[in-house]
Homo-oligomer: A and B are copies of this chain.
Amino acid sequence: MEKTRYQKGVDIINEITVTDNKEIGTHMDIVAAFKDIAPDLESFIVEFAFGDIYSREGLTKHQQTMATIASLVTLGTEPQLELHINVGITIGLTPKEIVGTIVHLIPYTGFPKVLNALKIVKRVFAQRNVKIDDLAMQSN
Protein backbone atom coordinates (compact mmCIF):
# COMPACT_ATOMS: atom_id res chain seq x y z
CA MET A 1 0.00 0.00 0.00
CA GLU A 2 1.43 3.35 -0.95
CA LYS A 3 2.24 5.77 1.83
CA THR A 4 0.36 9.06 1.96
CA ARG A 5 2.23 12.29 1.25
CA TYR A 6 1.92 13.09 4.96
CA GLN A 7 3.40 9.77 6.05
CA LYS A 8 6.24 10.09 3.51
CA GLY A 9 7.01 13.53 4.89
CA VAL A 10 6.93 12.50 8.54
CA ASP A 11 9.20 9.55 7.81
CA ILE A 12 11.79 11.76 6.15
CA ILE A 13 11.60 14.37 8.92
CA ASN A 14 12.10 11.63 11.51
CA GLU A 15 15.00 10.20 9.55
CA ILE A 16 16.89 13.44 9.05
CA THR A 17 16.06 15.68 12.01
CA VAL A 18 15.47 13.65 15.17
CA THR A 19 18.38 13.55 17.62
CA ASP A 20 18.89 12.40 21.21
CA ASN A 21 19.23 16.03 22.28
CA LYS A 22 15.72 17.27 23.05
CA GLU A 23 16.87 20.89 22.90
CA ILE A 24 17.46 20.62 19.18
CA GLY A 25 14.25 21.33 17.30
CA THR A 26 12.87 19.38 14.37
CA HIS A 27 10.54 20.44 11.61
CA MET A 28 7.65 18.97 13.63
CA ASP A 29 8.36 21.55 16.34
CA ILE A 30 8.09 24.34 13.79
CA VAL A 31 4.80 22.92 12.59
CA ALA A 32 3.55 22.73 16.19
CA ALA A 33 4.67 26.28 16.97
CA PHE A 34 2.47 27.75 14.23
CA LYS A 35 -0.54 25.43 14.64
CA ASP A 36 -2.55 28.25 16.20
CA ILE A 37 -2.03 30.92 13.53
CA ALA A 38 -1.46 28.80 10.41
CA PRO A 39 -2.64 25.24 10.95
CA ASP A 40 -2.25 24.33 7.28
CA LEU A 41 1.49 25.03 7.51
CA GLU A 42 1.76 21.46 8.78
CA SER A 43 0.54 20.16 5.44
CA PHE A 44 2.72 22.56 3.45
CA ILE A 45 5.91 21.59 5.30
CA VAL A 46 5.29 17.89 5.95
CA GLU A 47 3.45 16.97 2.74
CA PHE A 48 4.94 19.42 0.23
CA ALA A 49 8.48 20.20 1.40
CA PHE A 50 9.22 16.69 2.68
CA GLY A 51 6.54 14.37 1.24
CA ASP A 52 6.93 15.84 -2.27
CA ILE A 53 10.33 17.55 -2.60
CA TYR A 54 12.58 15.57 -0.26
CA SER A 55 11.06 12.29 -1.43
CA ARG A 56 11.94 12.93 -5.08
CA GLU A 57 14.31 10.31 -6.44
CA GLY A 58 17.61 11.39 -8.01
CA LEU A 59 19.57 12.94 -5.16
CA THR A 60 20.85 11.19 -2.05
CA LYS A 61 20.03 12.65 1.37
CA HIS A 62 23.66 13.83 1.52
CA GLN A 63 23.29 15.68 -1.79
CA GLN A 64 19.94 17.18 -0.81
CA THR A 65 21.37 18.48 2.44
CA MET A 66 24.46 20.00 0.82
CA ALA A 67 22.28 21.78 -1.75
CA THR A 68 20.00 23.00 1.05
CA ILE A 69 22.91 24.32 3.10
CA ALA A 70 24.39 26.06 0.04
CA SER A 71 21.07 27.77 -0.67
CA LEU A 72 20.50 28.84 2.95
CA VAL A 73 24.02 30.30 3.24
CA THR A 74 23.27 32.34 0.11
CA LEU A 75 19.87 33.47 1.42
CA GLY A 76 21.36 34.31 4.83
CA THR A 77 18.35 32.95 6.76
CA GLU A 78 20.11 31.86 9.93
CA PRO A 79 17.51 29.85 11.91
CA GLN A 80 16.96 27.54 8.94
CA LEU A 81 20.70 27.26 8.34
CA GLU A 82 21.17 26.17 11.95
CA LEU A 83 18.46 23.54 11.55
CA HIS A 84 19.96 22.11 8.36
CA ILE A 85 23.52 22.05 9.70
CA ASN A 86 22.00 19.87 12.41
CA VAL A 87 20.37 17.76 9.69
CA GLY A 88 23.76 17.42 8.04
CA ILE A 89 25.30 16.04 11.23
CA THR A 90 22.36 13.71 11.85
CA ILE A 91 22.45 12.12 8.39
CA GLY A 92 26.21 11.71 8.50
CA LEU A 93 27.80 14.54 6.55
CA THR A 94 31.35 14.85 7.84
CA PRO A 95 32.49 18.11 9.42
CA LYS A 96 34.73 18.48 6.38
CA GLU A 97 31.75 18.23 4.05
CA ILE A 98 29.67 20.73 6.02
CA VAL A 99 32.47 23.27 6.41
CA GLY A 100 33.67 22.50 2.89
CA THR A 101 30.29 23.25 1.33
CA ILE A 102 30.15 26.62 3.07
CA VAL A 103 33.76 27.70 2.42
CA HIS A 104 33.38 26.66 -1.24
CA LEU A 105 30.76 29.42 -1.62
CA ILE A 106 33.17 32.33 -0.92
CA PRO A 107 33.61 33.10 -4.66
CA TYR A 108 29.82 33.14 -5.17
CA THR A 109 28.37 34.80 -2.06
CA GLY A 110 31.40 36.73 -0.81
CA PHE A 111 32.93 36.45 2.67
CA PRO A 112 30.19 38.01 4.85
CA LYS A 113 27.55 35.31 4.32
CA VAL A 114 30.17 32.56 4.65
CA LEU A 115 31.58 33.97 7.89
CA ASN A 116 28.09 34.35 9.39
CA ALA A 117 27.36 30.74 8.41
CA LEU A 118 30.59 29.43 9.94
CA LYS A 119 29.70 31.14 13.22
CA ILE A 120 26.55 29.01 13.29
CA VAL A 121 28.54 25.90 12.36
CA LYS A 122 30.80 26.42 15.38
CA ARG A 123 27.80 26.76 17.71
CA VAL A 124 26.10 23.64 16.31
CA PHE A 125 29.30 21.57 16.31
CA ALA A 126 29.80 22.46 20.00
CA GLN A 127 26.19 21.59 20.87
CA ARG A 128 26.37 18.29 19.02
CA ASN A 129 29.87 17.42 20.30
CA VAL A 130 31.25 17.15 16.78
CA LYS A 131 34.96 16.32 16.77
CA ILE A 132 36.78 18.76 14.56
CA ASP A 133 40.37 17.76 15.29
CA ASP A 134 41.03 16.46 11.80
CA LEU A 135 39.69 19.64 10.21
CA ALA A 136 42.88 21.38 11.34
CA MET A 137 44.63 19.36 8.65
CA GLN A 138 42.27 20.53 5.97
CA SER A 139 44.42 23.05 4.15
CA ASN A 140 47.31 21.58 2.23
Contact = CB atoms under 8 A, between A and B. Distances in A.
A92 interface: no
Q: Classify the interface of chain A: helix, strand, loop or mixed.
A: helix
B77 A138 contact: no
Contact of A66 (B44, B53, B67, B77): B67
A19 interface: no
A129 interface: no
Given A52-B48, A71-B70, A105-B67, A37 B99 contact: yes
Contacts of A122: 33-34, 36-37
Q: How large is the interface on A (under 10, 10 to 19, 20 to 34, 35 or more residues)?
A: 35 or more
A71 B34 contact: no
A115 B30 contact: yes
> A43, A52, A73, A104 — which one has the most chain B CB atoms within 10 A of its CB?
A104
Contacts of A68: 70, 104-105, 108
A58 B96 CA distance: 6
Given A70-B74, A79-B115, 4 more contacts: A53-B104, A58-B99, A66-B67, A110-B110
Interface of A: 30, 33-41, 43-45, 48-49, 52-54, 56-59, 63-64, 66-77, 79-80, 94-97, 99-101, 103-113, 115-116, 118-119, 121-122, 125, 132, 135-136, 138-140
